Amino acid sequence: MQKIAVLGLGHMGAPIARRLAAHGFPVTGWSRSARAVEGVAPAPDPAAAVRGADVVITMLTDGTVVRDVVTAAAVAGPATLVDMSTIGPDAVRDLAAALPAGVDLVDAPVAGSTGAAAGGTLRIFAGGTAATVDRVAPVLATLGELHRCGPSGSGAAMKVVLNTALVTALAALAEVLLVADAVGVPRAGALEALRGGPLGIAVERVTGARAAHFPVRLARKDLTLSLGDRDLPVALAAARHLAAADPEADLTTIVTEGPACSS
């Protein structure tokens, strides 16, 4: 059984570590908050967490934090580093270049929230060589459905695409409901009518049919990965919605608490 270290026991890292431990993997965990997780041996620092680990999982805020924590951990071969954070393909390439010889990297960001992490129903988008992904596949399969996306960085790239779709769809739904307000259509009726259309998944998120928690501050960070220096008017409009929202609130509040529009 592979020994696992999880660096980052936050909103997503904690249920991931807990599930792996519940399925028999020896798991050591570290987080800045010193959070206790059932079944997970706590470590005082990243270096202690990764000592002797076969697989090191990072679930952290952004590329800079991932690289800083991995550097502090001094991950050494033959461990395999699995980054499950949403950091984008450029940051994955930078991380790969900074790793010492003998440490292989799989970028494996996920789609799904805490419930999916706890229940093992995440969608995991993995980038890396076939042999490296094979090595960690039993670990990732415990957490959900593994999608092999291609070479290093391709899993991170796929996650950028997915999050761009989600954020822009919710921003579009917010504006559609402003139109509903303007023309006198009750929002409940509009949402029901929209449920079966192209914004159906956004409607499910807003109405609670797809339970999740995605803080606005993380959505802002992820949309920045999408935008770069690209001319993306729809994404820029979505960014304006995010800028006006509470950073700690769930992303769906750009729809449910957006500005009212009178006819």
Note whether 17 and 129 are same-domain residues.
yes
Residue 58 located in a structural domain? yes
**Range(s) of the domain holding residue 207:** 157-256
Residue 237: φ, ψ to 5°:
-65, -40
Looking at the DSSP bridge assignments, the partners of residue 158 are none
Cα 154 from Cα 170, distance rounded (Å)? 25
Supply the residues annotated as catalytic: 159
Q: Which of 82-86, 92-96, 257-261 has the lowest mean pLDDT?
A: 257-261
From 135, 151, 167, the end of a domain falls on 151
Note whether 86 and 193 are same-domain residues.
no
Q: Which of 11-20, 127-136, 203-212 has the lowest mean pLDDT?
A: 203-212
Q: How confident is the model at residue 85 (pLDDT cuts 50, 70, 90)?
A: very high
Residue 143: φ, ψ to 5°:
-95, -15
State both tokens at 195.
Answer: 């449920």
Evaluate if residue 97 carries a pLDDT over 90. yes
State both tokens at 68.
Answer: 């800083």
Evaluate if residue 64 carries a pLDDT over 90. yes
Note whether 190 and 166 are same-domain residues.
yes
- What's the length of the chain? 263
C-beta separation of 19 from 144 below 8 A: no
Note whether 136 and 186 are same-domain residues.
no
Note whether 130 and 217 are same-domain residues.
no
Note whether 139 and 171 are same-domain residues.
no
Output the pLDDT for position 263. Answer: 31
pTM of the model: 0.92
- Find the CATH number of the domain harbouring 214: 1.10.1040.10
* Residue carrying the six token digits 């995010």: 242
Mean pLDDT of the chain: 94
Residue 263 located in a structural domain? no
Evaluate if residue 23 carries a pLDDT over 90. yes
Evaluate if residue 68 carries a pLDDT over 60. yes
Q: How many structural domains comprise the chain?
A: 2
Evaluate if residue 260 carries a pLDDT over 60. no
Residue 261 located in a structural domain? no
Note whether 130 and 185 are same-domain residues.
no
Cα 62 from Cα 59, distance rounded (Å)? 9
The share of the chain scoring above pLDDT 70, in percent, equals 97
Note whether 20 and 111 are same-domain residues.
yes
Residue 30 located in a structural domain? yes
Note whether 143 and 63 are same-domain residues.
yes
Q: ∠216-12-107 over CA atoms, to 5°?
A: 95
C-beta separation of 65 from 87 below 8 A: no
**Per-residue pLDDT averaged across 168-191, rounded?**
96
Residue 228 located in a structural domain? yes
Output the pLDDT for position 250. Answer: 92
**Per-residue pLDDT averaged across 196-225, rounded?**
89
Note whether 176 and 49 are same-domain residues.
no
Note whether 161 and 143 are same-domain residues.
no
Output the pLDDT for position 261. Answer: 39
Cα torsion 95, 142, 49, 225: sign: positive
Looking at residue 88, its amino acid is G
CA-nearest of 165, 18, 157 to 91 is 157
**Per-residue pLDDT averaged across 74-84, rounded?**
96
Residue 166 located in a structural domain? yes
CA-nearest of 1, 44, 49, 8 to 23 is 1
**Per-residue pLDDT averaged across 215-243, rounded?**
94
Note whether 182 and 233 are same-domain residues.
yes
- Find the CATH number of the domain harbouring 57: 3.40.50.720
**Per-residue pLDDT averaged across 12-39, rounded?**
96
Whole-Å CA distances, 61 to 9, 65, 67, 194, 219? 11, 6, 11, 33, 11
Q: 208: helix, coil or strand?
A: coil
Q: Radius of gyration (Cα) for the chain, nearest Å? A: 20
Angle between helices 13-22 and 130-143 (to 10 degrees): 90
**Per-residue pLDDT averaged across 204-208, rounded?**
90
Angle between helices 89-98 and 154-183 (to 10 degrees): 160
Output the pLDDT for position 262. Answer: 36
Output the pLDDT for position 211. Answer: 66
